[in-house]
Chain A
Amino acid sequence: MKNALRYILLVTLTLSLTSAGVHKYYVAVFQMEHKPEKKTIQITGRIFIDDLEKTLNAKYGKTFYLATTKELPETTNTVKQYLLDKITVRVNGKSAPVTFLAKEVDDDILVCYLTVPAPKKVTSIEVRNTVLQEMFREQQNMINTKVSNERKSLLLTHDTPSGTVTF
């Protein structure tokens, strides 16, 4: 346990202090599109698999072998729990429960499909998204929303983990 904690601390510090000149960068993209006829907002999240594996590994203390032939059977459920824990959405000022539909692999990215209920007219979306930020301090989560034909986006960081777009 002590070692695990130490490891987490080390990794977190490393990645926060190692400057950005290194090869890796930490960005996840969440596309949120309002579908008035379906009364939902569809969320498509694109997260780097290696970063998510490291994060889940540290949080749950085991290797999930995410997106490999050895992937543990409970992985989808863990990813679901993790995302529901890290993403909260309010639509028109009211809390909207997030539903996890599925995950898929696209090269080195895990594509996650989520939805939240939304009325026919959406005037504001508030998102809190701290995915991977406990592991990688410079993790940036881009939220690109589309309501009617209007597009607005947010860049959520460790220091600004939530934001609101209005339409």
Chain B
Amino acid sequence: MKRVFYTLTALAALTAAAQEKPATPREPGHKDRNSFNQMYDLLATPNMFRTASGAPGPAYYQQQADYKMDIELDDKNTKLYGTETITYTNNAPEALEYLWVQLDQNENAADSPSKLIESQNMDPAYTAQGFLKRYAEKEFDGGFKLEYVKDAAGKPMKYTVNQTMMRIDLPTPLKHGEKVSFSIKWWYNINNYQIVGGRSGYEHFDADNNNLYVIAQFYPRMAVYNDVEGWQHMQFWGGGEFALTFGNFEVNITTPADHVLDGTGVLQNRKDVFTPEQVKRWELATKTYDKPVVIVTQEEATTTEKGFSDKKKTWKLKAENVRDFAFSSSRKFIYDAMAVKLNDKSVMAISLYPKEANPLWGDSSTRLVAHTLKTYSKYTFDYPYPKAISVSAADQGMEYPMICWNFGRPDEKGFVSDPIKWGNAGVIIHEVGHNFFPMIVNSDERQWTWMDEGLNSFLEYLTEQEWDAKFPSRRGPADKIVPYMSGDQKFLEPIMTNSESIHQFGNNAYAKPAAGLNILREVIMGHDLFDHAFKTYAHRWKFKHPTPEDFFRTMEDASAVDLDWFWRGWFYSTDYVDLSIKEVKQYSVTDVKPEGLKEVNIRKGRFGKETGPFVYMAPDNPDANKADKKAFNRAEVKMLKEYIDEKFTAEEKAALREPKFFYEVTFEKLGGLPMPVIAQLTYEDGTTETQTFPVQLWRKENTTAKRVIATGKKVVMIQLDPKLLTADIDVENNAWPRAAGPDKFDQLKDKK
């Protein structure tokens, strides 16, 4: 037997050689490469901390860090001094041997390594000032100057600083449920952020010699410890923002007596720091829902900015359940506020701005804050904090709990162009919106920028459109992300990429996730399912620390829409959408058997076969004159007519549809990302009808799919994704027949 086998094999080999046919190797097998494969390979295994449904599990815990701080702002020397007592509660089941504290200001230290990680080219030219700054002047002496770290008894504690992180060693491990208190004394030189850079610092006004301070990341802050990362102590390189622990704050801030200040939390001593008249105006504002009430007027601010008081005053602020604390202070501030009605409570919308921001800020900033709080509350949960402040700061767009800095002022002649107006409105909505993500839904920005920026950019888009239907939103609509997604793959990373490694931050972490959520809402899930699921995520994770998986899982859990294919494609890969109409064939109905049709195979029952007679679908000759093409009339096909007359009552006959034209449409998937097929049919009479086929049309990893469409009217055009809702990167192949629109360039030439 064996011999026979060998002989046969040899013979076969000889034959093959004789014919010189190249031997095609047997194709190897492969692992599952289906786009619809469930994400067991990518998502962490659910556990007692985080469930498979995307909710916090029964053993979910988070740490608590409470702060008591005394801060002094030295305006003359632009220095900030502070002593703080942190009380840290370990709610983790395990004991901690040491604590990690973030020293973000050290990013500005003269020897900060974050200044050494960018690739540089020699600049061909400099201004004198630029040259000196670059090559001759001393570096800005930034970073924390730590005076001490002491325990509750006042004894020095052992600590080690590694760049922007400080480890404090505990004499005995901190067990589950235990608290530890310790104090840190520090100071630092405040950076002029227009020169040194940074998300906080001061802006200097040459004309009146005043500073406008926006102060944040200004105190040593507890790093997050949790079930996912352990200590989140990835260094602050400047890109990935913050991971912070919730806690309560009591902060006393001493400033020059003529400053106006506001910050995170509730002001405890309004009567000590504002004039009686201003206190009265504030009280009026708390009852005024239709327009801002000016509390510190432009006249008052203009007077104040001229004096430089040597006296001091102290502002006392208290904040509960916040992840951070920030404040803003200046002699230049105009201050206005209005009340915002939410379901069962009122909160305050506030703006602080110098006279240089008017006209513009007085008209719109506080109204925008109020609109943002209402709109975001509608899509998530009622804004839980007592207030939200928008501060005018040059070139900034940065968010902290209850307070944010926003760019956009009139030009030096007081003119507000549309780009300035929209840019300012957009940044206010965006930064106030950050109160929801990540201030309250406290995701880890150091690791995943998109979790707050993407979700926030999505809600920013909805809020902008509700503010003004003509709002030129830069991010959100699916078609706006096409230039990015069709770009060179060398410069694209999946959204699920660490914040520091992204080439195009704005596109990757803001615009693409926002566009993805819009596609889910507009195309894949629909408003009701999406809005409910999104709200569920917000509710489940408010005042908690969610991960990407918690978001992905909740969106499915609350909607019963399988989205693994979407997360895989849109978030974990750089695949793009490119669907096209490959071919459209038209058919006529006839009872004459077409030439070339050999046999009809229609099953009868389980084992039998139909013998006819049949109606035949005859493909139209594509060359035939289309004008001659006749609509199908079932009365003209004898065999059908007889059948109907015999079997159907008049009533049943009347209920039958009367298709007249028959098409077989071939769709092609050229991109790696599947997408529902939205096909708009345009009929001869100009009317349209849209047929949508679910994304599961592509579930077998097929690259083409055919659908048969029967219509009552003649189809003159089929257009895929007519409203540009799917981020299809090539829309030229979306139409049948391929419509070459008028060439814009020819029109422009003709105009010339």
The reply to whether the CB of B120 lies closer than 8 angstroms to some CB of chain A is: yes
Whether the pair A108, B423 counts as a contact (CB closer than 8 A) is: yes
Checking A5, A19, A53, A158 against B239 with a beta-carbon cut-off of 8 angstroms, the contacting residue is A19
Please give me the residue from chain B that is nearest to A19 by CB atom. Answer: B238
Stretch of B12-20, B180-188, B485-493 on the interface side: B485-493
Query: Which residues, 422 to 446 on B, are CB-close (under 8 Å) to A?
Result: 422-423, 426-427, 430-431
Query: Which residues, 1 to 35 on A, are CB-close (under 8 Å) to B?
Result: 5-6, 8-27, 29, 31, 35
Q: What CA separation (Å) do A151 and B670 show in the bound complex?
A: 13
Q: What CA separation (Å) do A42 and B747 show in the bound complex?
A: 13
Whether the pair A20, B745 counts as a contact (CB closer than 8 A) is: no
Whether the pair B748, A113 counts as a contact (CB closer than 8 A) is: yes
Whether the pair B129, A50 counts as a contact (CB closer than 8 A) is: no
Query: Which residues, 236 to 253 on B, are CB-close (under 8 Å) to A?
Result: 238-239, 241
Please give me the residue from chain A that is nearest to B431 by CB atom. Answer: A23
Q: What CA separation (Å) do A102 and B488 show in the bound complex?
A: 27
Q: What is the CB-to-nearest-CB distance from B454 to chain A, in angstroms, rounded to a whole number?
A: 13
Q: Please count how many residues in chain A sit with their CB below 8 Å of the partner chain's CB atoms.
A: 56
Checking A53, A101, A151 against B419 with a beta-carbon cut-off of 8 angstroms, the contacting residue is A53
Whether the pair A15, B504 counts as a contact (CB closer than 8 A) is: no
* Given known A9-B129, A15-B395, A68-B417, contact A20–B505 (CB-CB < 8 A): yes
The reply to whether the CB of B198 lies closer than 8 angstroms to some CB of chain A is: yes
Whether the pair A13, B194 counts as a contact (CB closer than 8 A) is: yes
The reply to whether the CB of B88 lies closer than 8 angstroms to some CB of chain A is: no
The reply to whether the CB of B595 lies closer than 8 angstroms to some CB of chain A is: no
Whether the pair A102, B504 counts as a contact (CB closer than 8 A) is: no
Residues of A within 8 A of B490 (CB): 155
The reply to whether the CB of B196 lies closer than 8 angstroms to some CB of chain A is: yes
Q: Please count how many residues in chain B sit with their CB below 8 Å of the partner chain's CB atoms.
A: 60
The reply to whether the CB of A84 lies closer than 8 angstroms to some CB of chain B is: no
Residues of B within 8 A of A20 (CB): 238-239, 505-506
Q: What CA separation (Å) do A23 and B423 show in the bound complex?
A: 10
Query: Which residues, 367 to 420 on B, are CB-close (under 8 Å) to A?
Result: 394-398, 407, 411, 413, 415, 417-420
Checking A14, A48, A159 against B193 with a beta-carbon cut-off of 8 angstroms, the contacting residue is A14
Query: Which residues, 48 to 70 on A, are CB-close (under 8 Å) to B?
Result: 48-50, 53, 63, 65-68, 70
The reply to whether the CB of A154 lies closer than 8 angstroms to some CB of chain B is: yes
Q: What CA separation (Å) do A85 and B434 show in the bound complex?
A: 40
Q: What CA separation (Å) do A19 and B241 show in the bound complex?
A: 10
Residues of A within 8 A of B133 (CB): 9, 13
Please give me the residue from chain A that is nearest to B240 by CB atom. Answer: A21
Whether the pair A144, B194 counts as a contact (CB closer than 8 A) is: no
Q: Mark B556-584, 1 if CB is under 8 A from A, else 0.
A: 00000000000000000000000000000
Whether the pair A27, B504 counts as a contact (CB closer than 8 A) is: yes
Max chain B C-beta neighbours (<10 A), residue from A6, A21, A38, A50 = A21
Q: What CA separation (Å) do A14 and B195 show in the bound complex?
A: 6
* Given known A22-B397, A101-B748, A154-B488, contact A142–B423 (CB-CB < 8 A): no
Q: What CA separation (Å) do A44 and B743 show in the bound complex?
A: 12
Whether the pair A107, B472 counts as a contact (CB closer than 8 A) is: yes
Q: Mark B658-695, 1 if CB is under 8 A from A, else 0.
A: 00000000000000000000000000000000000000
Whether the pair A42, B419 counts as a contact (CB closer than 8 A) is: no
Q: Mark A68-96, 1 if CB is under 8 A from B, else 0.
A: 10100000000000000000000000000
The reply to whether the CB of B606 lies closer than 8 angstroms to some CB of chain A is: no
Whether the pair A21, B398 counts as a contact (CB closer than 8 A) is: yes
* Given known A13-B194, A27-B506, A154-B488, contact A22–B415 (CB-CB < 8 A): no
Q: What CA separation (Å) do A63 and B752 show in the bound complex?
A: 27
Q: What is the CB-to-nearest-CB distance from A146 to chain B, in angstroms, rounded to a whole number?
A: 9
Checking A13, A35, A108, A153 against B488 with a beta-carbon cut-off of 8 angstroms, the contacting residue is A153
Residues of A within 8 A of B196 (CB): 17
Please give me the residue from chain A that is nearest to B491 by CB atom. Answer: A155
The reply to whether the CB of A140 lies closer than 8 angstroms to some CB of chain B is: yes
Residues of B within 8 A of A154 (CB): 488
Q: What CA separation (Å) do A101 and B397 show in the bound complex?
A: 36
Q: What CA separation (Å) do A67 and B427 show in the bound complex?
A: 20
Q: What CA separation (Å) do A65 and B743 show in the bound complex?
A: 29
Q: What is the CB-to-nearest-CB distance from A82 to chain B, in angstroms, rounded to a whole number?
A: 17
Whether the pair B121, A50 counts as a contact (CB closer than 8 A) is: no
Whether the pair A158, B419 counts as a contact (CB closer than 8 A) is: no
Q: Mark B102-136, 1 if CB is under 8 A from A, else 0.
A: 00000000000000000111000001011001000
Q: What is the CB-to-nearest-CB distance from A111 to chain B, in angstroms, rounded to a whole number?
A: 9
Checking B198, B491, B507, B748 against A102 with a beta-carbon cut-off of 8 angstroms, the contacting residue is B748
Whether the pair A22, B398 counts as a contact (CB closer than 8 A) is: yes
Q: Hey, which bits of chain B sit against chain A, CB under 8 A?
A: 119-121, 127, 129-130, 133, 193-199, 238-239, 241, 394-398, 407, 411, 413, 415, 417-420, 422-423, 426-427, 430-431, 449, 472, 474, 483-484, 486-488, 490-491, 503-507, 510, 730, 743-745, 748-749, 751-752
- Other A-B contacts than A35-B743, A108-B422, 16 sampled, CB-CB below 8 A, are A8-B127, A9-B129, A9-B133, A10-B195, A18-B199, A18-B396, A19-B239, A23-B426, A23-B430, A24-B506, A27-B484, A31-B483, A42-B745, A66-B419, A108-B423, A158-B121
17 contacts between A and B (CB under 8 A): A9-B130, A11-B395, A25-B510, A26-B506, A50-B417, A63-B411, A63-B413, A65-B415, A66-B419, A108-B418, A108-B422, A108-B474, A113-B744, A144-B487, A151-B486, A152-B488, A155-B504
